[in-house]
Structure 1
């Protein structure tokens, strides 16, 4: 077996023939002269084998994977061909994308590493500068998603996240059925969500959306009702429970301001106990809260109303849930607690969209879980100067398109992906 054949087997260069090899840069780089074997001279558009017009004049280089601590560099001079359909053009390069300077399998390795580690660590493994890794990653993801379209979106979730200092926000749109991100847009207002419906979805796709979940933002609610009039909107349970907890805590704060030193000592430490769910409290905690019936009736009344409201989420029939919610709102108004009366106003403004939860208990829990992963991504990268590189990592890790399963990378055998 010759040295060239041995190198081809070690590097698993299928359908490629090595013509020469040379170690450079003090033996840290292995340079290989290659050419297509039995599959060259193909048109890059129709893939037809064509007549050679001119032999390659100037050799081009493509960086390949790092093997045994050495960077592999491929050299080849592409030929010019004459296609009967597409005219005179350069032959297809089977191991790399058009105008690329790295091979398909280096692109695959780059994406796979950036999914699980920082770009700096991935660059150290691949012998590439961090700035080059970021640029290459953006090009690969942009090319992969160039012709991508959102498909099968039935259950929509919308939320906003902060991605940079200085109150910079981005709107994230989720597919709640399949738990992935379908769109990322800069900003959090009505214009941003309108851009999603106009640019990312067709009228037929908007008509197929049946369910939507969001917080109580009028921008998101108005956009969903305008663009998807047939969709059932569900106000997110998490944000509603958060608003109720804030109303109860406002009662505690108001009592704290009015009480003296002795009274403050009696209600000290109640902040987290009042916000705790009933299933997480001990019997001792419940007895402590029940003592407030005689010592502080306002806080006790707010706590009782909060615990009663939790029963709403367990109803199975909309009629029974509607009657319960109306009775609870009447009781909250009679309590004469200002913060709870404001919460009742919130319930009235979103009454129908809150009752929709009984038909389908849809929440943004999937979206909140994805937001936690997005925070991990942001912390792992130590911040971003803009939304574009952050969106690249979002689509790479939690996007609706599996970039490591694309047709553009299908030419890589499965055994090569472990190199």
Structure 2
């Protein structure tokens, strides 16, 4: 009836009062004989060393009453780890809660803020993050190295996790649609850690790596997976053009303010046209089309930049054979346009032309990874920020990592 984990009840349960007058049900237990005297780190049977005073572990509540398991654990003398507390099968190492209770906390912890989980399950809100981390680590250890099996195409990106340009590196398996690796920081040294976690055979199985045009991604892929195809994400290619276009628009608006020809607020034809300039032409409203016509008639430089952006977007929708000459011509036109932002972009596009053609040929993108980034940002907002990034990584792995997180009793 109590759904107790693997143990033997050694005495009569008793009821006590907690510090605020609530009822506690205390159940004395011990592990099965086969589970006694095992090292908590390696699980090997070892020689008993001594016995500690009785400890308690929080278990699933009985109605509105909290249930605690009580046991005086042994310490064992492990040949590998020295004197350590013996394993108890109902709880994870260094935890004051049973496995079932931690899974009961972790499941709503993935979907709700810690304050809500704390009030619902009556735990300290500071313990919710560490509990989720222990559950995620345990589920990942059950998967073992299989988490990295059969990798064929992966995507890598960086996502902001705090103010002040603090980033995390995220790696996604495109075939399974799961996050397989996350780490605090970004850059070549961080991405190297991912490849160092793979065996040579797993590195050789990777055939495609998608991401933006960052050089540190290129260098890591060339060093660790020289046979893998490096594919740029089409979204990032177009976003470079939209960023350049927005800089041209901002410069045009500032120039209009200096000359006194700028309108007030959104009524200014340049300042108010930002959304119309960046939006897909097929989704423009009648008002936004009128704004574009105004830009075409009043600002030749901005209109030329807009046409270059749209040409690049349309090129990415062509076949690789059709796109090759068009992309070469676009890079030349952008470089000779006289618009500083697009001249620089034209040089970059020309330098990465063959990578872009591979992107068009493969049809792959980082869309799945961008969706994961949105879920990470949602998780941060739900939790009102995370001081401990390990707890945030654990929540993301529970939510997007394909780990089989189940409520207790429903496996």
The one of 397, 400, 403 aligned to 1:398: 400
State the SS of the aligned residue for 2:313: helix
* CA distance 1:107–1:295, change in 2 (3 Å): closer
- Could you tell me how far apart the structure 2 residues matched to 1:291 and 1:94 are? 72
Structure 1, unmatched stretches of 5+, are: 1-8, 82-88
The aligned residue for residue 117 of structure 1 is 112
- Alignment correspondent of 1:153: 151
Deviations 1:363-415 (A, max 9, x none): 2111111111111211222222232222222222222433x26xxx9xx642x
1:301 — aligned with what?
A: 304
Rounded Cα–Cα distance in structure 1 between residues aligned with 2:72 and 2:269:
84
Shift of 1:106: 0.7
Cα distance, 1:54 vs structure 2: 12
How far 1:254 moved relative to its partner?
3.5
Offset at residue 24 of structure 1 (A): 0.9
Change (3 A) 1:350 1:77: same
Q: By how many angstroms is 1:57 displaced?
A: 8.9
The alpha-carbon deviation at position 18 of structure 1 amounts to 6.8
Report the CA distance shift for 1:142/1:339 in structure 2 as closer, same or farther (over 3 A). same
1:20 maps onto 2:12 in alignment = yes
Equivalent residue for 2:378?
A: 376
> Larger radius of gyration, structure 1 or 2?
1
Alpha-carbon distance change, 230 to 24 in structure 1, aligned in 2, over 3 angstroms:
same
Number of residue pairs the alignment of both structures matches: 388
1:307-326 equivalence runs, <5 A: 307-316=310-319, 318-326=320-328
Structure 1 distance, partners of 2:49, 2:233, is: 64
Match of 2:333 in 1: 331
Quick one: distance in 2 between partners of 1:384 and 1:80?
Answer: 36
- The equivalent position to 2:175 in structure 1, one of 161, 177, 193, is 177
Q: Distance in 2 between matches of 1:22 and 1:370?
A: 48
Asked if 1 retains the 8 angstrom alpha-carbon contact of 2:27 and 2:67, the reply is yes
Kept after mapping to 1: 8 A contact 2:335/2:344? no
Match for 1:251 among 229, 242, 248? 248
Please say which of residues 157-166 and 363-372 is displaced more in the overlay: 157-166
Could you tell me how far 1:126 is from its partner in structure 2? 2.6
- Aligned match of 1:126 in 106, 121, 127? 121
- Whether the 8 Å CA contact 1:20–1:34 is kept in 2: the answer is no
TM-score when normalising by structure 2:
0.82
Tell which deviates more after alignment, 102-111 or 291-300: 291-300
Match for residue 163 of structure 2 among 162, 165, 168: 165
Matched, 1:208 2:200: no
TM-score of the two chains, using structure 1 as the length reference: 0.81
Inter-CA distance 289–79: structure 2 relative to 1 (3 Å threshold)? closer
Separation in 1 of the partners of 2:53 and 2:309? 76
Deviation at 1:356, TM superposition (A): 0.9
